[in-house]
Amino acid sequence: MKCGVGDYSFFLANALASDESNVVGVLTSILDNKDRGADRVQLFPVVKNWSLMSIIQYIKILRDFKPDIVHIQYPTQGYGAGNLPWLLPSIAWLFGKKVVQTWHEGYTKKNAIKLFFKGIVPGALIYVKPEYQKQFRPYFMRWVFWNKLKVFIKNASVIPVVNLAKHEIDQYRITYLKGQKRLIVFFGFMHPEKRVELLFSIANPLTDTIVIAGEFDPKNGYHQEIYDFANSTQWSDKVQILGFLAEEIVAKLLAIADAIILPFASGGGAWNTSLQAASQQGSFVITTAQHPIGYDQDSNIYYSHIDDVSEMKLALEKWCSTKKNVSNEVTGDWNLIAHQHLLLYAALLNGRGLD
């Protein structure tokens, strides 16, 4: 399923299940593709949709699987517009389960009523963004956070690291460059928050090929806008929109890029899995930040002011094609994340705080 939080859940479940003393089950939507899984993770792809009509499947899993911990990830693409996800914590709590929630994004006042049903449930709350609580107004924080164990646990990349031989790099670059000199890459979901359109102002059509690895829907207005930029006189035949790609192909694309540009409208940071995936391949990355710091040599990332095209153009010219050494594995990051989760689960089950 095409979802960043879904990928996060996949890696977390596998890392938790790597310890044979843990029994891990995943409740998810009915899947067309059943290939992706793990031997030690019990998959329950039984939810037809996430409307209230699916409540029976959820209750059946609670009764039959008998989990000690019910851990729910928010938000995900897979939930769609269904109302059941907002009630998952309350139902689990009414069945006597310990409830953990991970909130990957913030919430606005328009969600206040729905948020009430999961916000009032005692248990534990994990967030992946530092200082997450500061995003909420004080009156809001009082009732959302007061009855919960609260902990920050960082996330990690969901893209594997690749180490390509020089002849492989040369071959792949020829395939994508198509006669241009520099390979500029964007990957991930395309929507206005990602500011993909800025790539066409930051990159140079005289020297650059832009490759976009992201799902393309011709009925989507924003996607059509990107398509029009790509087929403009200036950029015609110099842009490739590849659609949704497997992780291994994305990893290779990131590894051979001269620059990866992620000009997020709200800024990026350590919590952003796309940014981590880009950096770990060793290629130069340009992103934006709420508190920009310029070029960070250790990560090979340039943090620009949001929407500052001129600054990002200058950074591209100065550090384009810069490479850093990469580590071969990201498994250790997920093992650490799983360990931090297990500490939280134990604290919740034992009725104590975190040490």
Looking at the predicted structure, is the pLDDT value of residue 176 above 90? Answer: yes
Report whether 72 contacts 100 (CB < 8 A). yes
- Which is more confidently placed, 123 or 135? 123
* Residue range 69-87, pLDDT digits in tens: 999 999 887 788 889 999 9
76, 91, 169, 170: which is closest to 123 by C-alpha? Answer: 91
Q: What is the pTM of this model?
A: 0.81
Helix 4-17 vs helix 273-280: angle between axes, to the nearest 10 degrees?
70
- Please state, for a pLDDT cut of 70, what percent of the chain lies above it: 90
Looking at the predicted structure, is the pLDDT value of residue 250 above 90? Answer: yes
- Which is more confidently placed, 342 or 156? 342
If pLDDT is split at 50, 70 and 90, which confidence band does 33 have?
A: low
254, 256, 168: which is closest to 213 by C-alpha? Answer: 254
Q: 3-class SS at 38?
A: coil
Rounded Cα distance, 100 and 201, in Å: 43
If pLDDT is split at 50, 70 and 90, which confidence band does 276 have?
A: confident
Which amino acid is present at 293?
Answer: I
Helix 4-17 vs helix 331-349: angle between axes, to the nearest 10 degrees?
80
pLDDT at 307: 96
Looking at the predicted structure, is the pLDDT value of residue 56 above 60? Answer: yes
Rounded Cα distance, 51 and 30, in Å: 13
Looking at the predicted structure, is the pLDDT value of residue 230 above 60? Answer: yes
E strands of the chain, at which residues? 24-29, 41-47, 69-74, 98-103, 123-127, 148-152, 182-187, 208-213, 239-241, 259-262, 285-288, 294-296, 301-304
Domains and CATH numbers, the chain: 4-156+333-349 (3.40.50.2000), 166-319 (3.40.50.2000)
pLDDT at 108: 65
Looking at the predicted structure, is the pLDDT value of residue 289 above 70? Answer: yes
* Residue range 186-228, pLDDT digits in tens: 999 899 999 999 999 999 999 999 999 988 999 999 999 999 9
